[in-house]
Structure 1
Amino acid sequence: MAGFKWIRPEVYPLFASVGLAVGICGMQLVRNITTNPEVRVTKENRAAGVLENFAEGERYAEHGFRKFLRNRTPQIMPSINNFFSDPN
């Protein structure tokens, strides 16, 4: 391990957070390339021009995570917020 003296244990959380961010960006890029109706990779799809395919766009925009969060309150910690804001 003589070649890895510059890696200190204090930077492991930094590597983990940067790795997580790169993974999320990669996942979003793959999602856009494979399922976005406005991105056309193959030559046949590019030749089609502008499509009026609203159903495919709606399916892309209303994905499962958005449907899951739709009826939830926009709070990060609702139990703590309710503890301090709701009178007993």
Structure 2
Amino acid sequence: MATVNRWLRPEVYPLFAAVGVAIGICGFQLVRNVLINPEVRVSKENRAAGVLENFAEGEKYKEHALRKYVRNRAPEIMPSINRFFADPK
């Protein structure tokens, strides 16, 4: 019980949240690479194929929906705050 009281304090909740988000991002990227990356081959038959020159599949993997969404947007996290402090009145 002393160990539980030591680690489950309100002060460590942000640490647990940050570690949980990092693990989630790593897990998402791992699953994404294993399932749809054209350079990762899990099955023995696909590994035996060697190096494939399939540029269309690589382009499809690279140009995912998030990249298409942010392509023509300004690289800002909070645009309204940036405009408030940067634009002259």
Q: TM-score, length-normalised on structure 1?
A: 0.92
Q: Deviations over 1:62-82 (max 9, x none)?
A: 000101111110011111111
Partner Cα distance (2:11, 2:20) in 1: 15
Question: C-alpha root-mean-square deviation of aligned residues, in Å?
Answer: 1.1
Q: Percent identical across equivalent pairs? A: 71
Residue matched to 1:10: 11
Distance in 1 between residues matched to 2:82 and 2:5, nearest whole Å:
45
Segments of structure 1 that go 5 or more residues without pairing to the other structure are none
Separation of aligned partners in 2, 1:73 and 1:11? 35
Change (3 A) 1:84 1:25: same
**1:85 partnered with 2:86:** yes
Offset at residue 87 of structure 1 (A): 2.1
Instruction: Give structure 1 regions of 4+ aligned residues with deviation exceeding 6 angstroms.
Output: none
How many angstroms apart in 1 are the aligned matches of 2:78 and 2:35? 34
Q: Distance in 2 between matches of 1:70 and 1:41?
A: 31
Unaligned runs of 5+ in 2: none
Normalising to structure 2: TM-score of the pair? 0.91
Letter in 1 for 2:6: W
Q: Distance in 1 between matches of 2:85 and 2:17?
A: 33
Tell me the distance in 1 between the aligned counterparts of 2:19 and 2:88: 41
CA distance in structure 2 between the partners assigned to 1:44 and 1:35 by the alignment: 16
The count of corresponding residues between Structure 1 and Structure 2 is 87
